[in-house]
Amino acid sequence: MTHSAPGSVGPVLPAVLDEAAHRCLVAGFDGTTTVPDTLKRLIDRGLGGVILFTRNVRDADQVRQLTGTLRALRPDLLVAIDNEGGGIGHLVAADAPEVPGSWALGVADDPALTAACADALAGHLLSLGITASYAPVADVQSRPENPIVRTRSFGADPELVSRHLRAWIEATEARGVASCAKHFPGHGGTVTDSHHELAVDPRPYDRLDLAPFRAAVDAGVPMLMSAHVVFPALDPDRPATLSPRILSELLRGELGFDGVLVSDALEMKAIADRYGEAAGARLALAAGADQVIVAVPDLEVTLACRDAVLGALGSGELAEERVAEAAERVRRLALRYAVLPYRPDDLAAWDTGAGPAAARRAVRRGGFLPEPVPGAHLVDCFPPPHPALNWGGEDLLTELTALDPTATGTAVAGEPGDAGAFGALITAALRAAEGRPLVVAVCDAELYPWQARLRDALVAARPDAVLVSTGLPEPGSAVCAYGRGRVNLRATAEVLTGRMS
């Protein structure tokens, strides 16, 4: 039996090889209740997995029905999602447990608490029929100006990151959910976000942050995700996702990883702009990846990647043995995690208090913790939400007024439009704060100079202002949230008001 697809190019392949090629793909799609016909055809031919996003989530019952529909089409289909915690998640509407981001867990530095948070996230995933989580982040936040890792990392110390990785992976494994340490061999040493352009880590080999990935492999992590980052010390010509030296020689050979290696999303500009998604799929599999992710819901992009792989197999440009090896790893992963071995009612409960406890501990371990400031006026500055990470734009003002209805303020989500708007914002804030405490919160102001300008102007007029950092700690901050997840912001509001939620 052979297969060919409408619009595909190249020779027709034997069914077993066609199915193997499809197992190497993970597809995003649109829809909350129905599965597109194109996706059904891909699943029928062996598609390895799907990745869900906020666009696929309406509520918990709907997600359960959707994953059930997907699994009915193919029981060994991996259903995955990004589920890092903090502000990085897609399941808020599906009653996701509130846990802080990884940096706050690193500040709390209690691996048992990290494990409890990971268990809560994994238990919730299982209750929805999701069995693969593209988390935790193994990157070390090595460059202060890094624009993409930051509070998604457990910290700047490889040993600290390693011990919290182990706790997270082991807790997730105990639930029967596949975890995925990312982004190999590290994205924390760059000054570029690979969602937007190709990133480079210029450090020599002996200064790369490989220790957390070694720890993840030792902990039995079943998946690793590659970085769209060039490491000249390892391969000056190709990003890690497309580099045989990094994926096959370093990861497989030196680190001894034999699980599923999945690429970061191919539509990210670091790959799409320089190589194109289709060529990226072919090159990544040839380099040693086992699965490639096409996260965009446009299934034509997935089909183009699939056709590029089939064409390369037909021409001999991509070795059949390489794809067969990759598909076998995916098959083993699916046998271990894809089929649900339980009824949802049988799931053990998770600790809903672990996340708030971790967030509170982190806030209280950083900054100078001023006396409560009841009736404060807050100016909360933060960048627009990152579209790929789906942070929901939660603001501190909402959490502050929930605990102190006499508080007022404004949430500044992005740079004011012009000098006039900037000045008007300052004037209005100072007027509103007359005779009451002023709180000024910024999020990674060193990356966003408009926040620093606004903060400095307000402090110049009000030297008594209380400064808050909701990203990485800023100099002079009295309170540090270590992330903009809702639970981080609530813990910060508790400190500012002296009240517990």
> CATH no. for residue 474?
3.40.50
Quote the CA–CA distance of 283 and 289 in Å, as a whole number: 9
Last residue of a domain, one of 338, 357, 386: 338
331 with 377, same domain? Answer: no
325 with 392, same domain? Answer: no
Q: Which member of 264, 290, 380, 395 is catalytic?
A: 264
Output the tens digit of pLDDT for each of the chain's 501 residues.
444 444 444 457 899 999 999 999 999 999 999 999 999 999 999 999 999 999 999 999 999 999 999 999 999 999 999 999 988 889 999 999 999 999 999 999 999 999 999 999 999 999 999 999 999 999 999 999 999 999 999 999 999 999 999 999 999 999 999 999 999 999 999 999 889 898 999 999 999 999 999 999 999 999 999 999 999 999 999 999 999 999 999 999 999 999 999 999 999 999 999 999 999 999 999 999 999 999 999 999 999 999 999 999 999 999 999 999 999 999 999 999 988 767 767 788 999 999 999 999 999 886 677 899 999 999 999 988 776 666 666 899 999 999 999 999 999 998 988 888 899 999 999 999 999 999 999 999 999 999 999 999 999 999 999 999 999 999 999 999 999 999 999 999 999 999 987
Domain contains 360: no
For residue 270, the domain's CATH number is 3.20.20.300
| Span 364-399, pLDDT tens digits | 886 677 899 999 999 999 988 776 666 666 899 999
Domain contains 34: yes
Q: Taking the alpha carbons of 493, 494, 497, 501 in that order, is the dihedral positive or negative?
A: positive
410 with 320, same domain? Answer: no
432 with 329, same domain? Answer: no
Domain contains 318: yes
Closest by alpha carbon to 362, among 179, 187, 155?
Answer: 155
381 with 326, same domain? Answer: no
Domain contains 133: yes
Runs of H (alpha helix) within 45-138: 60-73, 102-108, 111-128
Domain contains 347: no
Quote the CA–CA distance of 428 and 425 in Å, as a whole number: 5
- Say if residues 169 and 124 touch (Cβ distance below 8 Å): no
| Span 190-224, pLDDT tens digits | 999 889 898 999 999 999 999 999 999 999 999 99
Quote the CA–CA distance of 333 and 340 in Å, as a whole number: 13
Range of the domain at 402: 366-497
Q: What's the pTM value of the predicted model, to 2 decimals?
A: 0.95
Supply the pLDDT for residue 12: 73
Supply the pLDDT for residue 75: 94
- Strand, coil or helix: 263: coil
Q: How many CB atoms lie within 10 A of CB 415?
A: 17
383 with 334, same domain? Answer: no
Last residue of a domain, one of 322, 338, 354: 338
- Say if residues 368 and 495 touch (Cβ distance below 8 Å): no
Quote the CA–CA distance of 186 and 433 in Å, as a whole number: 44
| φ/ψ of residue 387, rounded to 5 | -60, -30
388 with 493, same domain? Answer: yes
Taking the chain, what is the end-to-end CA distance rounded to the nearest angstrom? 63
281 with 427, same domain? Answer: no
Residue with tokens 């590659």: 226
Domain contains 356: no
Domains in the chain, number: 2
Domain contains 270: yes
- HEC string for 421-457: HHHHHHHHHHHHCCCCCEEEEECCCCCCHHHHHHHHH
Q: Which member of 124, 183, 195, 228 is catalytic?
A: 195
299 with 373, same domain? Answer: no
Domain contains 87: yes
264 is catalytic: yes
